[in-house]
Amino acid sequence: MATITSVVDTTTTTNQGKPGDTVQINGSGLSTTARVNFGAAVVTPTSVTATQVTFMVPSTAPCSGQVSVSVTSTTGATSNALPYFVIATPTTTGTNVTCVSAVTGGPVTLFGTNFLSGTQVGVGAVGTVAVTPTQPSQVTFTAPANPGQVSTVSTQPLTITTAGGTSTSGTTLIDYYLAPAITSVLPTSGTAGDEITVNGTSFVGIDAVTFADSAAATATAVFTAMSGTQLVATVPGGLATGAGSITVHTCGGNSNAQAFTIT
């Protein structure tokens, strides 16, 4: 009589996986196997030897949960049964941040379902990150830098791969931002209340314009973004006169410090 000693999914190398995976049944007396009993489903084996039977997890497998696996011989004798766990396909629902710097990347928490057997998070064309989730609904990882980025904003889909498969691409997105760069300010000096035109590149998603004075004190300015290459800022009060600078900040990081004189 056939005896099963292990059930191994060739994709995960464990006794868990998903529909479509190839599974190896190891044991003895298996040479007369006629069918594999996968829970209530009857599956035709793809190969049979005295010590190993292989089959494919059927599409009729439950979405998740434990299934008993046994084999039945040509004479109708059925072996012992061992468990196999069908792992549900993961889904993603969002993140705790919407953007990261293209230069440095950054920490991201991905939310969703069925994460516990996760092995990696995919960040679009940027790359993959190995993960070991400790919760079924979220995982934190460091998004890698995107050094080849040319456009100011590059949108990338986030996916997670588990024993149950890979989540749908495009459901959850994250934006990579290039750091802004200032090329000029007009005029190059001014006093509190004056409006200054700042020219540059990657002026998208600006969250702060900062003036620094000769004593290295700083003040945040009120500003209006005019385009991706220009903004108008009002010189803030409370700064010392003399040589200072202006910087612009976005999700991509801080710009260069452009010279500006407080008068």
What is the average pLDDT across 69-76? 97
**Position 253 confidence tier, pLDDT thresholds 50, 70, 90:** very high
Q: What is the mean pLDDT of the chain?
A: 97
Query: Token match 């998004």: residue?
Result: 143
- The 3-state DSSP class for residue 237 equals coil
| Angle value at C-alpha 129, between 156 and 59, nearest 5 degrees | 80
Query: Looking at residues 244-255, what average pLDDT do you find?
Result: 98
Tens digits of residue pLDDT in 83-125: 999 999 999 999 999 999 999 999 999 999 999 999 999 999 9
Quick one: pLDDT at residue 221?
A: 98
Angle, CA 87 vertex, CA 82 and CA 93 arms, to 5°: 170
- Mean pLDDT for 137-164 is 97
Query: What pLDDT does 200 receive?
Result: 98
How would you label 46-81 residue by residue, b for 16+ Cβ within 10 Å and e otherwise? Answer: eebeeebbbbbbeeebeeeeebebbbbbeeeeebee
Query: What does the CA dihedral 28, 34, 37, 40 come to, rounded to 10 degrees?
Result: -170
Q: How far is CA 171 from the centre of its chain?
A: 11
Burial environment of residue 5 by CB neighbours within 10 A (0 to 12, 13 to 18, 19 or more): exposed
The whole-angstrom separation of Cα 9 and Cα 125 is 29
Radius of gyration of the CA atoms of the chain, in A: 30
> Which residue's structure tokens are 């200054």?
196
d(CA 229, CA 200): 5
pLDDT of 223 reads: 98
Beta bridge partners of 159: 122
Q: Please list the residues that pair with 198 across neighbouring strands.
A: 185, 231
Q: What is the mean pLDDT of the segment spanning 134-139? A: 97
* pLDDT reading at 63 higher than 90: no
Contact 156, 128 (CB under 8 A): no
Q: What are the residues whose beta carbons fall under 8 Å from the beta carbon of 13, sequence distance 6 or more?
A: none
CA distances, 129 to each of 8, 45, 50, 92, 94 (Å): 26, 36, 41, 16, 17
pLDDT for 30 = 98
Comparing 63 with 34, which gets the higher pLDDT? 34
Mean pLDDT along residues 140-156 = 97
Q: Is pLDDT at 241 greater than 90 in this prediction? A: yes
Summarize pLDDT for 178-220 with one digit per residue, the tens.
999 999 999 999 999 999 999 999 999 999 999 999 999 999 9
Closest to 228 measured CA to CA, from 174, 152, 155 = 152
Q: What is the pLDDT of residue 219?
A: 98
- Distance between CA 108 and CA 95 in Å, rounded? 7
Nearest Cα to 90, choosing from 22, 202, 166? 166
Write the DSSP assignment of 170-198 as a string of letters: TSEEEEEEPPPEEEEEESSEE-TT-EEEE
